[in-house]
Amino acid sequence: MVNERDVLLNELAQGLRPMSEGIEWFDDLGSEEQSEVLRFLGHHCVQARAVAEDASEGIRRSGLRPTHTPAVLISRGRIDMQLGKIAGLMPVDERRKAFRLLIAVLAVADARRRERFCSGGCGHWWHGLSAAD
């Protein structure tokens, strides 16, 4: 079942909503909800088949410096393991950075999946989103 959060996060990843709107939404969440969103995003990055090479493009798109904690984490080790560590960051300022990075990595990985596997059509509801929705 699709909920508003899923739609919002996919719209952010697809560039259909500005990141400023996503950050405002994320900042308004409670601590537990933020953790849940970060875990959700990490899971979806794995589902979208994120690979180690997506790290540098995700960092670039997110606007983070390579020295920020989430950027350092995603650049070291297996990406699926690092996504979980990023989702577990606790300080509020690190969570906001993690949110931006995970949205960007999801955007990179899902765009590749869409191009490789879904260009002829697919059943992924999020690939049917458009700016008009």
Q: How far are the Cα atoms of 94, 95, 127 from residue 91, in angstroms, in the given order?
A: 5, 6, 33
Whether residue 49 lies inside any domain: the answer is yes
Whether residue 110 lies inside any domain: the answer is yes
In this predicted structure, the answer to whether residue 117 has a pLDDT above a threshold of 70 is no
In this predicted structure, the answer to whether residue 133 has a pLDDT above a threshold of 50 is no
- Write out the DSSP string of 92-125: HHHHHHHHHHHHHHHHHHHHHHHHHHSTT----G
pTM of the predicted protein model: 0.85
Whether residue 108 lies inside any domain: the answer is yes
Whether residue 123 lies inside any domain: the answer is no
Whether residue 47 lies inside any domain: the answer is yes
Q: How many domains does the chain have?
A: 1
- Please check whether residue 41 is in contact with residue 100, taking contact to mean a CB–CB distance below 8 angstroms: no
Whether residue 44 lies inside any domain: the answer is yes
Whether residue 133 lies inside any domain: the answer is no
Expressed as residue numbers, the domain containing 98 is 4-118
47-81 tens-digit pLDDT: 888 998 899 999 999 999 999 999 999 998 888 88
11-48 tens-digit pLDDT: 899 888 999 999 999 999 999 999 999 999 999 898 88
Whether residue 31 lies inside any domain: the answer is yes
SS3 at position 42? helix
